[in-house]
């Protein structure tokens, strides 16, 4: 009985806490900076070439705009295009922001990697 318990505990530690995130897009998509969220100082993106892929993989968002949680506005300009890899943002990744400006109800995304579009 003791050996069975040890094997069971090892099994739970090895496989019980693993988490696969299937919502990550493996390829780069073209995103365009359309606005900034001034409360969080982040960018709002649209995906002109891949909007159907984004809707299917990430989810539908109002006006096809997506709120980034880790792409800071100081690095980008409006209408700038960037190549991004992204995934759905998780609740524990959202941060508290100021509330001086209007807020948007766009779907939140986490940018795993980005590079300038040519």
**Does the reported pTM lie above 0.85?**
no
31-77 pLDDT, tens digit per residue, is 999 999 999 999 999 999 988 989 999 999 999 999 999 999 999 99
76-92 pLDDT, tens digit per residue, is 999 999 999 999 999 99
**CB of 37 within 8 A of CB of 99?**
no
10 in a structural domain = no
Mean pLDDT of 24-32: 89
User: How many structural domains compose the chain?
Assistant: 1
50 in a structural domain = yes
9 in a structural domain = no
Q: 84: domain range? A: 21-116
35 in a structural domain = yes
4 in a structural domain = no
1 in a structural domain = no
- C-alpha distances in Å from residue 24, one per residue of 29, 76, 107, 112, 118: 12, 23, 15, 8, 23
Tell me how far apart the 2 most distant CA atoms of the chain are, in Å: 65
């Amino acid at each position: 009985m003791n050996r069975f318990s040890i094997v069971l505990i090892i099994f739970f530690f090895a496989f019980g806490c693993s988490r696969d995130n299937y919502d990550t897009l493996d390829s780069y998509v073209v995103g365009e900076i359309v606005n900034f969220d001034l409360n969080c100082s982040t960018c709002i993106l649209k995906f002109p070439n891949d909007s159907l892929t984004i809707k299917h993989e990430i989810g539908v968002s109002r006006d096809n705009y997506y709120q980034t949680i880790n792409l800071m506005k100081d690095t980008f300009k409006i209408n700038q295009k960037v190549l991004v890899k992204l995934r759905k943002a998780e609740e524990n990744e959202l941060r508290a922001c100021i509330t001086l400006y209007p807020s948007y109800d766009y779907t939140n995304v986490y940018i795993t990697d980005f590079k300038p579009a040519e």
